[in-house]
Structure 1
């Protein structure tokens, strides 16, 4: 466990933000954002180690958000979280190195924690 590491989780559903925070509290410092503009503000003002974005949001998809974020913050670890099947857009983002992995909802805490731990060791 790396309690000093900061994870930004972007999701337009308040319930999902709450659940994510509860599942990972004590493991990492979780910072949440309910919309992409809020997530960008956090990225500009705080040192974030890992960015996880929901895929399906009204303003832009998670992949679209990460494309924009990675331009400004290229040295971060980016992930998608989705309740849906991994589609072409997500697969392409993984193949192109835009995101490291896609996690499925409901969340598997150990799978996500293991991936985050591995990513943080390579930073």
Structure 2
């Protein structure tokens, strides 16, 4: 699934360079892939590029995946968020859901098929959400126009 003329923009954040290389090699033909080795680098990428899906590792130095996602929500709440972790850390998963507003949680190492399906499902939800927001925006404009016409009618 692609948005209009562009590939789905996916940002993968992990402090292990080999994981970044593997992700990019696996998905570069199907998606527009951005990678970042730290939360700070990823934040800069989100500020500079339209991103549809964000996938982040939980355990990173300087900033956890959940802390990174919390900051991303402040910058751009639109992208769908997916958390990866190699550890069974229920506290991190709960924080990811409550604070990072994640769409999905996956264990590392990820399988190509499962991650691809998760990206596809996340993008479907993302596209539906964008469509609903556009419809809502059009309805708000129509409502304002109707209110204006009604005021004009009442004043005349």
- Whether TM exceeds 0.5 here: the answer is yes
The answer as to 2:134 corresponding to 1:117 is no
Question: Do the aligned partners of residues 58 and 21 (structure 1) sit closer, same or farther apart at CA in structure 2, a change above 3 Å counting?
Answer: same
Q: Is the Cα–Cα contact under 8 Å of residues 81 and 102 in structure 1 kept in the other structure? A: yes
RCO comparison, higher one (Cα < 8 Å, 6+): 1
Moved more, 5-14 or 88-97: 88-97
Measured in 1, the distance between the counterparts of 2:98 and 2:41 equals 28
Structure 1 runs (4+) deviating above 3 angstroms are: none
Deviation at 1:7?
0.5
Structural RMSD (CA): 1.7
Unpaired runs of 5+ residues, structure 2, are 128-156
Question: Which residue of the other structure, out of 52, 59, 62, is the alignment partner of 2:55?
Answer: 52
Match of 2:81 in 1: 78
**Where is the helix percentage greater, Structure 1 or Structure 2?**
2
Question: Which residue of the other structure, out of 61, 64, 83, is the alignment partner of 1:61?
Answer: 64
Unpaired runs of 5+ residues, structure 1, are none
Measured in 2, the distance between the counterparts of 1:121 and 1:100 equals 12
Measured in 2, the distance between the counterparts of 1:35 and 1:59 equals 8
Question: Do the aligned partners of residues 35 and 97 (structure 1) sit closer, same or farther apart at CA in structure 2, a change above 3 Å counting?
Answer: closer
Q: Is the Cα–Cα contact under 8 Å of residues 82 and 103 in structure 2 kept in the other structure? A: yes
Deviation at 1:107?
1.1
**Any idea what SS the aligned residue of 1:47 has?**
coil
Deviation at 1:25?
2.2
The answer as to 2:8 corresponding to 1:5 is yes
- The size of the alignment, in residue pairs, is 123
Q: Is the Cα–Cα contact under 8 Å of residues 86 and 102 in structure 1 kept in the other structure? A: no
Match of 2:146 in 1: none
Question: Do the aligned partners of residues 59 and 24 (structure 1) sit closer, same or farther apart at CA in structure 2, a change above 3 Å counting?
Answer: same
The answer as to 2:20 corresponding to 1:17 is yes
